[in-house]
């Protein structure tokens, strides 16, 4: 009994320690002050076309094939950064393609979030397979440390793929079956990527890919980033070899997804300029660099602002700055998930506190109805010219806590494509939220009803999450 009391006391002390240093500390730490550098993205705009062209990657199956194509056509280097991977066919094909590239002599560097990577269970053997390959390096950003709770919120949220310093992909998709599923897949997540093509690879200094590469190197060499495996035993090596053979068999069963003849330049559109933005790499509350750049574009917009984000969980300061000020844009539209569509009730419980307030502001708030699919897209469109695509959600976690990266694309042709896709969700599968929180009637779009359990759980969570929205 005495031992049990000591154990309970120690657990209670640890919980208090974790709560103070992993939660309350973030409430008390001030946010870095505005540095006045937002307008740098607009300086020196090219009057003509830049050397970087872009391809919008929208459809789920298309996005999976695009990734496989980029990897299988790599010649010398692959730099990959992802937030999380989900066990299934999509991740197996992704791993198999990486190993095939490494077998060809391509040097692969792969970064995953140190807590949410999901290389566990059957996929743990992938760590051993990669560690045993001379051409693959796998690292984890900020692995879990039980005695440093202040590091638990420092998560890698980037989704980057850089090929040979000539091609890059950035967007909001993680790697998992739901992100690349064919129509009819239960729980599918709709997202958006962009492929960037450097048409003058001999002239690296003026391509946005050099900035993306610099950022990858910053994260790769940072002290927060650790090797996934420092030593692999013979038993682990054999497990890795067995997993590699399984991956190869999976690839053989889906040969139709490989060896596609994709001419990226031919299907691309020109840009005036592409700017790469990212949050700083630091612990605790970060200076919200990406959010401030988006704020700048919101302020500069004269005609229209379109925002698509799966989660809308801003701090009061973010709301004041983005929807309550005298914004000159005549049309402001936000699209997010309804309760019926969202797979993340924890995030929605935070959004509930802002939903009506946003609907009553100068914003047209739409909610995607689902319910068999959801939106995972992070896209911002300004004056039908500037498109922002990447990993950034409209929430305080993206603004202040996680690593985040986006590209700002100055291109009316690309913006036209993005607007068309955004309008498809707005006009065919979403409803306008009215001032009282109900939906405006639409003759052919049905309001989807969440289950009583989902509604009750979300409401119950909201009583707690209202105090911790800055961590959602």
**What pLDDT, on a 0 to 100 scale, did the predictor assign at position 214?**
95
- Tell which wins on pLDDT, 121 or 139: 139
pLDDT tens digits along 232-242 = 888 988 998 99
CA pair distance 58, 192, nearest whole angstrom: 5
The 3-state secondary structure of 290-311 reads: HHHHHHHHHHHCCCEEEEECCC
Asked which of 33-47, 96-110, 118-132, 175-189 is least confident by mean pLDDT, the reply is 33-47
Instruction: Quote the mean pLDDT of the chain.
Output: 90
Q: Band of the pLDDT at 408, cuts 50, 70, 90?
A: very high
Confidence of residue 180 (pLDDT cuts 50, 70, 90): very high
Angle between helices 89-103 and 234-252 (to 10 degrees): 110
What's the rounded mean pLDDT across residues 38-66? 77
Q: How confident is the model at residue 18 (pLDDT cuts 50, 70, 90)?
A: confident
Got the DSSP string for 169-230? EEES--BSGGGSPPTT-TTEEE--EEEEEES-TT-GGGSHHHHHHHHHHHHHTSTTEEES-S
pLDDT-derived band of residue 446, with 50, 70 and 90 as boundaries? Answer: very high
Contact 316, 323 (CB under 8 A): no
- Residue 19 pLDDT: 87
User: In the structure, what pLDDT confidence band is assigned to residue 289 with cuts at 50, 70 and 90?
Assistant: very high
Residue range 306-348, pLDDT digits in tens? 999 998 988 766 665 555 456 778 899 999 999 999 999 999 9
Given a cut of 60, whether residue 397 has pLDDT beyond it is yes
Distance CA 99, CA 107 (A): 10
Instruction: Decide if 83 contacts 391 (C-beta within 8 A).
Output: yes
Give the list of residues 6+ apart from residue 21 with CB closer than 8 angstroms, or none. 148, 149, 150
pLDDT of residue 9: 86
Residue 375 has a pLDDT of 95
Helix (H, G, I), strand (E, B) or coil at 410: strand
| pLDDT tens digits for range 365-389 | 999 998 999 999 999 999 999 999 9
Please determine, for residue 97, whether its predicted confidence score (pLDDT) is greater than 90: yes
Q: How far apart are CA 157 and CA 3, in angstroms?
A: 42
pLDDT of residue 36: 45
Per-residue pLDDT at 41 exceeds 70: no
**How confident is residue 2, by pLDDT bands cut at 50, 70 and 90?**
confident
Rg of the chain's alpha carbons, rounded to an integer?
A: 23
Give the model's confidence band at 390: pLDDT under 50 very low, under 70 low, under 90 confident, else very high. very high
CA–CA gap between residue 433 and residue 436 (Å, rounded): 8
Instruction: Give the pLDDT score at 428.
Output: 92
Give residue 107's pLDDT.
97
* Whole-number pLDDT of residue 43: 43
Position 361 confidence tier, pLDDT thresholds 50, 70, 90: confident
Residue 37, pLDDT score: 46
Cα dist. 174→158, 189, 191, 193, 225 in Å? 9, 10, 10, 11, 19
Q: Is-contact 313 350, C-beta < 8 A?
A: yes
Q: How far apart are CA 77 and CA 420, in angstroms?
A: 34
The answer to whether residue 204 scores a pLDDT higher than 80 is: no
Residue 328: strand, helix, or coil = coil
Q: Are the beta carbons of 190 and 373 closer than 8 angstroms? A: yes
Percent share of the chain, pLDDT over 90: 71
C-alpha span between 324 and 11 (Å, rounded):
45
């Amino acid at each position: 009994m005495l031992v049990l009391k000591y154990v309970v006391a120690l657990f209670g002390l640890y919980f208090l320690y974790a709560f103070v240093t992993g939660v309350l500390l973030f409430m008390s730490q001030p946010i870095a002050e505005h540095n006045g550098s937002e307008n740098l993205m607009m300086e020196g705009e090219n009057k003509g076309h830049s050397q970087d062209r872009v391809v919008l990657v929208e459809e789920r199956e298309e996005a999976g094939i695009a990734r496989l194509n980029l990897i299988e056509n790599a010649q010398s280097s692959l730099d990959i950064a992802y937030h999380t991977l989900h066990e299934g066919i999509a991740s197996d094909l992704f791993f198999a393609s990486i190993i095939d590239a490494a077998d060809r002599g391509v040097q692969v560097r792969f970064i995953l979030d140190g807590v949410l990577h999901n290389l566990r269970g059957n996929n743990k053997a992938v760590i051993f397979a990669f560690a045993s390959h001379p051409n693959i390096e796998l690292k984890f950003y900020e692995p879990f440390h039980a005695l440093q709770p202040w590091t638990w919120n420092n998560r890698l949220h980037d989704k980057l793929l850089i090929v040979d310093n000539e091609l890059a992909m950035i967007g909001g998709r993680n790697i998992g079956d739901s992100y690349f599923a064919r129509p009819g897949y239960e729980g599918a997540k709709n997202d958006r990527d962009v492929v960037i093509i450097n048409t003058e690879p001999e002239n690296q200094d003026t391509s946005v890919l050099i900035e993306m590469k610099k950022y990858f190197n910053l994260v790769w060499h940072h002290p927060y980033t650790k090797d996934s495996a420092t030593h692999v035993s013979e038993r682990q090596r054999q497990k890795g070899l067995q997993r590699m053979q399984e991956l190869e068999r999976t690839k053989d069963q889906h040969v139709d997804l490989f060896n596609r003849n994709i001419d990226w330049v031919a299907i691309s559109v020109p840009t005036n300029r592409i700017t790469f933005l990212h949050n700083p790499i630091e612990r605790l509350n970060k200076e919200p660099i990406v959010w401030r750049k988006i704020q700048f574009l919101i302020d500069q917009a004269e005609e229209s602002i379109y925002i698509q984000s799966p989660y809308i969980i801003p701090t009061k300061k973010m709301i004041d700055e983005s929807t309550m000020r005298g914004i000159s844009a005549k049309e402001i539209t936000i699209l997010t998930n309804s309760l019926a569509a969202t797979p993340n009730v924890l995030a929605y419980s935070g959004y509930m506190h802002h939903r009506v307030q946003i609907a009553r502001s100068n914003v047209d708030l739409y909610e995607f109805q689902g319910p068999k699919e959801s939106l995972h897209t992070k896209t911002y469109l300004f004056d039908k010219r500037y498109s922002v695509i990447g990993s950034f959600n409209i929430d305080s976690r993206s603004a202040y806590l996680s690593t985040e990266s986006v590209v700002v694309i100055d291109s009316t042709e690309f913006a036209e494509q993005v607007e068309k896709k955004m309008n498809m969700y707005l006009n065919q599968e979403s409803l306008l939220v009215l001032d009282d929180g109900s939906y405006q009637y639409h003759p052919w779009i049905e309001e989807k009803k969440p289950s009583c359990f989902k509604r009750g759980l979300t409401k119950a969570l909201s009583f707690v999450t209202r105090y911790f929205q800055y961590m959602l």
